[in-house]
Structure 1
């Protein structure tokens, strides 16, 4: 049985990590393994980047950067330290966050030097303040959720994990994870409305 690219043998406690196998082959310069990995994970990787960056064209650029980094640094992956999918998604999140920081630093520099007219600078600052305010509201609302609901939502929206992956990570049945996420989102909506 295969659950999210990890083969689970019902007679063994040792799951087979297909992403890790591909990364080890990529480290040896195997282009077919790289193509397989791209086909397997590019959709998930792109979705995670897009959630962080929002901008589609920037997300496409970062997607290319992530897979280039995978090709160049696959030798650094160690199956003893964790699953291949986790390694790829962690790298992806780091790259996306770096892009956001870089874009913000560039905007800040331009505003300080005066290369942008005041209307654009005001809009950028206003938007930044609004996003930070909204982010604080979400964090505050998440804190008010029960731990099991907060954990499921955090793994899904910040970690990029699917519901079946969250079930495997937490050891809870898939139906339970779906219920926790549905109930958590419902409470989050209610709490966010109260915080407005």
Structure 2
């Protein structure tokens, strides 16, 4: 068999033999030959999440739209047969439901009112007023804000405090009316006037006594001395002092018009 056809290929002074069937590649340095680079293979890069347009009314960063609103948690309906469920029926005018509400809540209302008022009569009246208010304002009850018992107790406490203030104000008005209308006692007016008049008359009548009689009477009845003390004060005999006082009193009785 014929051997490979040698071909002189010079590359840096070395001679390389080309076998038959080899394809000769053009040299990049040869004139007229342009070498094209192959397109780089696709390299998988980090995964990028697609941007999602927000659709809510809350503003977000520029180009991102708005955030979707988060729905508020819904309040579960009251349990069937509970006082809360009956109270909601009362709001619709259900009188049969109010019977159940009254039997359940009136003890709570009465206990709250009695704790504030300390008076069974006023507590009973407040209980009736509050239960009427429950019937009229049942539509204002909101189960999400508390139980029916708490709501009724709040109404009772508010109404009981109002009753305390009303009772206190009424007592003050009554006392003021009594103070203004009650006349002064007789002793404070009549006796004072009579005493002044009597004192003037006594002084006038005392002026009609002799000096010795007047002195003895004044020491005994205005000075509070005994007959013996008057005698010692006047340096007179006891019988003489008694006689002066007796005669002076008789003349005073006649002057004042006192009937014996």
TM-score, normalisation: structure 1? 0.48
Quick check: which has more Rg, 1 or 2?
Answer: 2
**Higher relative contact order (CA closer than 8 Å, sequence separation 6+):** 1
Structure in which a larger fraction of residues adopt helix: 1
TM-score, normalisation: structure 2? 0.37
